[in-house]
Structure 1
Amino acid sequence: MDVLIEFEQVIRPAVFLALLVLLAAAEFFFPLAKRKCTRAYQWGINLGMVLLDSLILKLIFPLLAVGVAHYAAEQGLGLFNLVALPVAVTLLLSLLMLDLLIYGQHVLMHNLPLLWRLHRVHHTELGLDVTSAVRFHPIEIVISMVIKMIFVLLMGIPVAAVIIFEILLNALALFNHSNIKLPKAVDAILRKLIVTPEVHWIHHSEKVRETNSNYGFNLIIWDKLFSTYIAKPQVDYPKMQQGLRQFGLQKPLSLYQLLILPFRGKDN
């Protein structure tokens, strides 16, 4: 754990880049569906967005969630810093609670009109690939970080738990947004516990009922527990249309269009 905390700034981007390359290679050989636009254009938009998001977060929140976890531990703040529990129990509970938080936040993003105006940027992707995992408007990223920081402070989430969760969240988001066709037996086993590409692709369908389902990013248990799980799409994956009809389903939006999208009219 000490090594993880000490080298967090190296480990997290290294894991991200390694998975990005590996999953991109897998997409090339085992696609779930035909690409809707060129890889160069899609990667340029999505990686440009994540670079902008990262810069804005660094400027606004020098500490981020890991820094807040350090502060809570030093000051003895939050539930887990006040209640003595075995380290393993605290770590497991922290990871489960953070995952539930992300699920709940995702549900709110779809059901509160002001938040949906931001989150719909993520849903304008016409065909998912691995980089779709980082396609979020900067304002949504800021709101998400504020929620996470408040939760970490109130619960006293350990530093190691925050780092592990961030690594898992990034890794599984890359995985379940990727354009990869898993063998049926493998998908059936994995989706008993985690969100697979076939599960999350349903969430990005242009059909409203399917968009409002499968909110989980890591564990699949929350969707099953709260009855938001759909096992199969109405249209099979190779023919599935993703995106939002009001923003067009033929031509991908530019980075500039994505940045101003929350400020456009409700239906245009």
Structure 2
Amino acid sequence: MADILFQHEPLIRLGAFAGAFAAMALWELASPRRRQAIGRSVRWPGNLGVVVLDSLLVRLLFPTAAVGVALLAERHDWGLFAALSAPTWLAVVASVILLDLAIYLQHVMFHAVPALWRLHRMHHADLEFDTTTGVRFHPVEILLSMLLKLAAVAALGAPPVAVLVFEVVLNASSLFNHGNVRIPAGLDRALRWLVVTPDMHRVHHSVVPRETNSNFGFNLPWWDRLFGTYRAQPEAGHDAMTIGIEQFRDPRELRLDRMLLQPWRSDAGRYPIGRREPGG
């Protein structure tokens, strides 16, 4: 079963991504949350172009990917769950949850270390917020993230099926929680106890540093509440808040070539965690 999953892993992930992306794009057209001043024709070529580049680099440099490492760990009894002789069902559930925690901690780290923030801020430099923002990550950040993910999978001894489920859910969650979609306020409040909603994550894309450094979760919302990084709403409100960061406000920065050079242009600014805002 695990070998079959590994053989078909690229098709499973691609199919899940395509389905989730199409659903979110249609939902955004049918019920947008915010009016966007910069249209898809300006933003999407760069955002989707970096997805293609990221995917090619990961396949070139990490041909086995995370599911392959999970298979290797399973065959050699590596990791925490092998050492504990944990039943498969428990290892699967715990792996999905703990890998999500690892992504949360990694996200915080990319906001705390100035050099890593310079890579990650390309994600935040989008001047609008929609489902394509959820896949807009610098290739160097993607490669570093993959190394950390592989280490986490090996350390846990996560079952291959758990890793595949986690990868599919994480990608779909990122497309969902970056969606420019309208969800009734009451439903949003209820959903926030189970998943990260678009309104919850949009706060994280505020131009205001103290809001940027909140709501780090991608899938499960519990970590932000547990570690004190949860912020319910942006101070300016969702309709009036400014998306992006202080640097790279020119729409020309949405071009793929300029996006890729952003880590080496301008300083880290006042966004890394721990840097004080004026008057703070």
TM over 0.5: yes
1:69-218 pair list within 5 angstroms? 69-218=70-219
**Residue 17 of structure 1 pairs with residue 18 of structure 2:** yes
Give the drift of 1:12: 1.2
Q: What residue is the counterpart of 1:47 in the other structure? A: 48
Work out whether residues 91 and 158 of structure 1, in 8 Å CA contact, stay in contact via their aligned partners in 2.
yes
Taking a change above 3 Å as real, the CA distance of residues 82 and 99 of structure 1, as seen in their structure-2 partners, is same
Separation in structure 2 between the aligned mates of residue 253 and residue 50 of structure 1, nearest angstrom = 14
1:187-233: per-residue Cα shift (whole Å, max 9, x none)? 11111111000000000000111000000000100000000000011
Q: TM-score, length-normalised on structure 2? A: 0.92
Give the drift of 1:182: 0.4
Work out whether residues 121 and 137 of structure 1, in 8 Å CA contact, stay in contact via their aligned partners in 2.
yes
Give the drift of 1:259: 0.6
Q: Match for 1:67: what amino acid?
A: G
Work out whether residues 122 and 136 of structure 1, in 8 Å CA contact, stay in contact via their aligned partners in 2.
yes
Work out whether residues 130 and 180 of structure 2, in 8 Å CA contact, stay in contact via their aligned partners in 1.
yes
Separation in structure 2 between the aligned mates of residue 123 and residue 116 of structure 1, nearest angstrom = 10
How many residue pairs get aligned? The number is 268
1:75-122: per-residue Cα shift (whole Å, max 9, x none)? 111111222122111111101110000000000000001100100000
Work out whether residues 122 and 136 of structure 2, in 8 Å CA contact, stay in contact via their aligned partners in 1.
yes
Give the drift of 1:41: 2.4
Give the drift of 1:66: 1.1
1:27-53: per-residue Cα shift (whole Å, max 9, x none)? 111111011312122221111001001
Separation in structure 2 between the aligned mates of residue 36 and residue 102 of structure 1, nearest angstrom = 31
Give the drift of 1:251: 5.3
Q: Match for 1:99: what amino acid?
A: D
Q: TM-score, length-normalised on structure 1? A: 0.96
Moved over 4 A (4+): 1-6, 249-252
Separation in structure 2 between the aligned mates of residue 78 and residue 192 of structure 1, nearest angstrom = 30
Give the drift of 1:245: 1.1
SS of match in other structure, 1:167: helix
Separation in structure 2 between the aligned mates of residue 76 and residue 22 of structure 1, nearest angstrom = 39
Unaligned residue ranges in structure 1 (runs of 5+): none
Work out whether residues 37 and 252 of structure 1, in 8 Å CA contact, stay in contact via their aligned partners in 2.
no
Larger deviation, residues 2-11 vs 16-25: 2-11
Larger deviation, residues 182-191 vs 118-127: 182-191
Work out whether residues 246 and 267 of structure 1, in 8 Å CA contact, stay in contact via their aligned partners in 2.
no
Give RMSD over aligned pairs.
1.5
SS of match in other structure, 1:85: coil
Separation in structure 2 between the aligned mates of residue 244 and residue 68 of structure 1, nearest angstrom = 36
Q: Match for 1:147: what amino acid?
A: L
Separation in structure 2 between the aligned mates of residue 12 and residue 250 of structure 1, nearest angstrom = 32
Larger deviation, residues 120-129 vs 33-42: 33-42
Taking a change above 3 Å as real, the CA distance of residues 113 and 263 of structure 1, as seen in their structure-2 partners, is same
Separation in structure 2 between the aligned mates of residue 36 and residue 144 of structure 1, nearest angstrom = 32
Q: What residue is the counterpart of 2:261 in the other structure? A: 260
Unaligned residue ranges in structure 2 (runs of 5+): 270-280
Work out whether residues 117 and 268 of structure 2, in 8 Å CA contact, stay in contact via their aligned partners in 1.
no
Q: Match for 1:153: what amino acid?
A: A
